[in-house]
């Protein structure tokens, strides 16, 4: 059955792959983005997927943005919380702003999007929320206390909200990607990236479509008995 989906950070990288995967499965997809109007326009022209601009870390802007989508497209049944930023640095050099911005967007964005959509899902007795965590939220990562904390928080958020949604037909799950061949990873210096790949048992970076396929399954009717789970897609880099 076709549903209406919002993918935050949905015009680039993993988000773009998720938007396309959900569209390919017949859903009406809206891609949220925060900043780059030119790339968002190019994304819409290429894919036919509408792009709506707001900062998911801004509570009021998120409520208004989702309300606009509901008015112009329809009630939202699927939310993929993919939007995220990095502000890396060791703790003794990390500013409060670097900490706060990552927490506000990466973790706060999940709360804001849920506040905007979860009540309607409950009322309609159907919904899918998929939160994109990270292998670094599971295992930790040097120089990323802010990012690791936010992504780890996503996993706890997922388990708690899953318990609230279960009896209403709303599933809440997370996916924890490993290192994926996106622009963000491409910015990592080559010697560092070589060391990262050396620690991945399958011997390569992941592809964005591999994350998207996991999201598509969790958002489908076939995923209705899966809730409160974290699906790790990391090539065996971290297992637990």
Domain presence at residue 47: yes
Residue 56 belongs to some domain of the structure: yes
Residue 240 placed within a domain:
no
Whether 150 is covered by a domain: the verdict is yes
Dihedral in degrees, nearest 10, Cα atoms 88, 136, 209, 76 = -90
Which domain does 55 fall in, by range? Answer: 4-233
- β partners of residue 28: 4
**What's the structural domain count of the chain?**
1
**Count of alpha carbons within 13 Å of 126, Cβ hemisphere only?**
15
Instruction: Supply the residues annotated as catalytic.
Output: 147
Given a cut of 90, whether residue 6 has pLDDT beyond it is yes
pLDDT of residue 147: 93
14-37 pLDDT, tens per residue? 999 999 999 999 999 999 999 999
Measuring CA to CA, how many Å separate 177 from each of 37, 44, 194, 210? 26, 25, 18, 9
- CA 227 to centroid of chain Cα atoms: 16
> Is 120 a member of any domain?
yes
Quote the percentage of the chain above a pLDDT of 70. Answer: 100
If DSSP states are collapsed to H, E and C, what string results for 161-177? Answer: HHHHHHHHCEEEEEEEE
Nearest to 43 by CA among 75, 18, 67: 18
In a domain, 239, yes or no: no
Q: Residue 117 is part of a domain; what is its CATH number?
A: 3.40.50.720
Helix axes 208-218, 13-24, angle to 10 degrees: 50
pTM: 0.95
Residue that is written with structure tokens 């992941």 in the block:
206
* Residue range 47-51: mean pLDDT, rounded: 98
In a domain, 14, yes or no: yes
> Residue range 139-157: average pLDDT?
93
pLDDT band at 139 (very low <50, low <70, confident <90, very high): confident
pLDDT tens track for 194-230: 999 999 999 999 999 999 999 999 999 999 999 999 9
Is pLDDT of 163 > 90? yes
Residue 199 domain-assigned (yes or no): yes
Structure tokens of 161? 């909200």
> What average pLDDT score do residues 126-146 get?
92
């Amino acid at each position: 059955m076709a549903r209406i989906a919002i993918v935050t950070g949905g015009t680039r990288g993993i988000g773009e792959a998720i938007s396309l995967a959900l569209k390919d499965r017949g859903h009406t997809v809206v891609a949220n983005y925060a900043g780059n109007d030119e790339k968002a326009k190019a994304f819409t022209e290429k894919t036919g997927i509408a792009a709506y601009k707001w900062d998911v870390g801004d509570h009021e802007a998120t409520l208004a943005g989702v309300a606009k989508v509901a008015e112009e497209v329809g009630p939202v049944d699927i939310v993929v919380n993919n939007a995220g930023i990095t502000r890396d640095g060791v703790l003794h050099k990390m500013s409060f702003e670097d900490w706060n911005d990552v927490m506000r967007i990466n973790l706060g964005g999940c709360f804001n999007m849920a506040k905007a959509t979860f009540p309607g899902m409950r009322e309609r007795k159907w919904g899918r929320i998929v939160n994109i965590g990270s292998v670094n939220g599971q295992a930790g990562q040097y120089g990323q206390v802010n990012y690791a904390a936010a992504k780890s928080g996503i996993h706890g958020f997922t388990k708690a909200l899953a318990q609230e949604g279960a009896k209403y037909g709303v599933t809440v799950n997370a996916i924890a990607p490993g290192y994926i061949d996106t622009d963000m990873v491409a910015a990592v210096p080559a010697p560092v990236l070589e060391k990262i790949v050396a620690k991945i048992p399958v011997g390569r970076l992941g592809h964005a479509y591999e994350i998207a396929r996991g999201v598509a399954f969790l958002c489908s009717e076939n995923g209705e008995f899966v809730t409160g789970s974290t699906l790790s897609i990391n090539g065996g880099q971290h297992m637990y």
